[in-house]
Amino acid sequence: MATINTLSVLFILVPILGALLLVLNLLLAVHNPDNQKIQSFECGFSAFSQTRSRFSVAFYLVGILFLLFDLEIILIFPYAVSAYNNEAYGLWMVVIFILILTLGFVFEFGKGALKISLVEPDANSSSSSAVGSKNDYIV
């Protein structure tokens, strides 16, 4: 008889369990949306103004940088746990990895990608600055 690999069971069981739980939710959950449940809210209060306000794309860049450096921690953590067992080769690989990320960070900082303009540009102005221009805003 063939042995069943644990990873195979995971790839088979997880989608079946996920689909089963979704179907059970659709069948058993109470669906009675009223006017209060459908309305948008802002921190528990009624919205003061339009909830779809414009904001700078620079906020996305900060989020992407956060994810990048968060992944850096995840990739360095195994080395930190086994630092006494690693040799010089492992240390140099981590140093090169951190050096590449640091050079990328310095490059982005030098290009001004981390400057966030908190003032929304005037709709009539046609300035084309690097950050904060009319095209840098998401609606």
What is the residue extent of each domain of the chain? 57-120+132-138
Task: Report the alpha-carbon distance of residue 40 to residue 133 in Å, rounded.
Answer: 29
- Which pLDDT score, from 0 to 100, does residue 20 have? 97
- Which pLDDT score, from 0 to 100, does residue 22 have? 96
Residue 63 CB: number of other CB atoms within 10 A? 10
**Coil, strand, or helix at residue 46?**
strand
- Which pLDDT score, from 0 to 100, does residue 128 have? 47
Task: Report the alpha-carbon distance of residue 133 to residue 125 in Å, rounded.
Answer: 9
- Which pLDDT score, from 0 to 100, does residue 42 have? 59
Contact assessment for residue 41 and residue 47, using Cβ atoms and an 8 Å cutoff: yes
Assessment of whether the complete model's pTM goes beyond 0.75: no
Walk along the chain (139 residues) and give the pLDDT tens digit of each residue.
567 788 888 899 999 999 999 999 999 988 887 877 777 665 666 666 666 667 667 777 778 888 888 888 888 888 888 888 888 888 899 999 999 988 988 888 888 777 776 655 555 554 444 455 555 555 4
Task: Report the alpha-carbon distance of residue 111 to residue 130 in Å, rounded.
Answer: 9
Contact assessment for residue 56 and residue 116, using Cβ atoms and an 8 Å cutoff: yes
Cα-based distances in Å from 16 to 8, 21, 25:
13, 9, 14
